């Protein structure tokens, strides 16, 4: 019996499909009333991430509402520092807060037991795989080392990642050691996701902006390259999407050096620039989430421009960053209708 075709997975592998594959970053989350109801009784955000029954339910919720081609694991990029032993809290209305790490406290991290602590999330992957239609792709993920390090050092998100940038410049040995820990832990974590049933994984380099080209090469491209290389030693030919948000002119070098299968584009990437990426390189994106929030003709027009702009290469339609909580459900339904109609 021939296996069931998964259009989104085939697109990641470089095969343009007859039907436009679609998923939406942060599709499992706060804009859905069923998520808000479950979240209210789940305890803390990390409790939700570490409870397989609930996390699997959240992962599957958007596919019950929308004609999407993939489920993405419901979790967070900061489960890795939490599993390494750093104190991580999610405060309502304030985002994540971590006890900032220093060169003197690096020894407190425990990579040896990190994967064991992440076992509940791997169990979520198994449960989602069991409950997912065979034509749907299951996307696993992790945060890329530079992005995760910015939170670990700064203690929270920031607009310029100044704490991590200064740390990397003034304490390069300690920073390189932290990146090594994150690379190795990420490889183990992603390989475990594949073994549990993930079809593809995405590397979220959410803070790839604000770095000069030398720092970008060293702290974004090289660690992501090492993750892809190490992962494919564990899982041969593992399909990987790279999403270096804000990479701008560094995108071609990132794609070439990391050897990701498909490149996620943020909404600031001009279509004309993306069209000059290497022929055949698949792309994902890149509607502005606020266009989706606003809806109407402006959204429809931009969707059609994006679909038309990528007719000559494998393309997964998506936002250029995560969906915002205030987004009307009707706008998501309209996005799918217009994107599929324009393909």
The one catalytic residue among 16, 39, 177, 304 = 39
The one catalytic residue among 31, 50, 69, 76 = 76
What does the alpha-carbon distance between residue 199 and residue 226 come to, in Å, rounded to a whole number? 20
| Of residues 227, 302, 293, 284, the one with CA closest to residue 21 | 284
Nearby residues of 121 by Cβ (< 8 Å), 6 or more positions away: 49, 50, 52, 55, 73, 75, 79, 193
The one catalytic residue among 31, 151, 189, 254 = 151
Q: Is 156 a catalytic residue?
A: no
What's the start-to-end Cα distance of the chain, in Å?
A: 30
Q: Is 26 a catalytic residue?
A: yes
Q: Beta-strand (E) ranges in the chain?
A: 70-72, 88-91, 95-98, 137-143, 200-205, 240-244, 262-264, 282-287, 315-319
Cα of 177 vs its chain's centroid, Å: 24
What does the alpha-carbon distance between residue 343 and residue 19 come to, in Å, rounded to a whole number? 7
The one catalytic residue among 30, 126, 218, 304 = 30
Q: Is 31 a catalytic residue?
A: no
Active site residues: 26, 30, 39, 76, 151
């Amino acid at each position: 019996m021939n296996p069931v075709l998964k259009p989104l997975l085939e697109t990641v592998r470089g095969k343009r499909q007859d039907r436009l594959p679609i998923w939406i970053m942060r599709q499992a989350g706060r804009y859905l009333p069923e998520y808000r109801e479950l979240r209210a009784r789940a305890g803390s955000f990390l409790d939700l991430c570490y409870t397989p029954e609930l996390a699997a339910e959240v992962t599957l919720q958007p596919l019950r509402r929308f004609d999407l081609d993939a489920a993405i694991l419901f979790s967070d990029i900061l489960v890795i520092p939490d599993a390494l032993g750093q104190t991580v809290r999610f405060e309502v209305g304030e985002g994540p807060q971590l006890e900032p790490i220093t060169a003197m406290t690096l020894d407190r991290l425990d990579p040896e037991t990190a994967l064991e602590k992440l076992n509940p999330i791997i169990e979520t992957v198994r449960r989602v795989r069991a409950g997912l239609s065979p034509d749907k792709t299951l996307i696993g993920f992790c945060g890329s080392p530079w992005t995760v390090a910015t939170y670990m050092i700064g203690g929270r998100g920031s607009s310029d990642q100044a704490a991590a940038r200064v740390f990397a410049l003034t304490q390069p040995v300690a920073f390189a050691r932290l990146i090594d820990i994150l690379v190795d832990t990420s490889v183990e974590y992603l390989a475990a996701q594949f073994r549990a049933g993930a079809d593809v994984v995405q590397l979220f380099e959410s803070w790839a902006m604000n770095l000069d080209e030398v720092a970008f090469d060293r702290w974004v491209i090289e660690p992501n390259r090492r993750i892809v290389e190490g992962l494919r030693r564990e899982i041969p030919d593992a399909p990987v999407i790279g999403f270096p948000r804000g990479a701008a002119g560094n995108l071609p070098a990132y794609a070439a050096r990391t050897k990701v299968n498909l490149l996620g584009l943020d909404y600031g990437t001009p279509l004309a620039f993306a069209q000059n990426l290497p022929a055949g390189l698949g792309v994902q994106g890149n509607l502005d989430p606020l266009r989706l929030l606003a809806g109407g003709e402006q959204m429809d027009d931009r969707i059609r421009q994006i679909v038309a702009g990528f007719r000559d290469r494998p393309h997964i339609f998506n936002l250029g960053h995560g969906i915002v909580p205030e987004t009307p459900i009707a706008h998501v339904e309209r996005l799918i209708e217009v994107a599929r109609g324009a393909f």
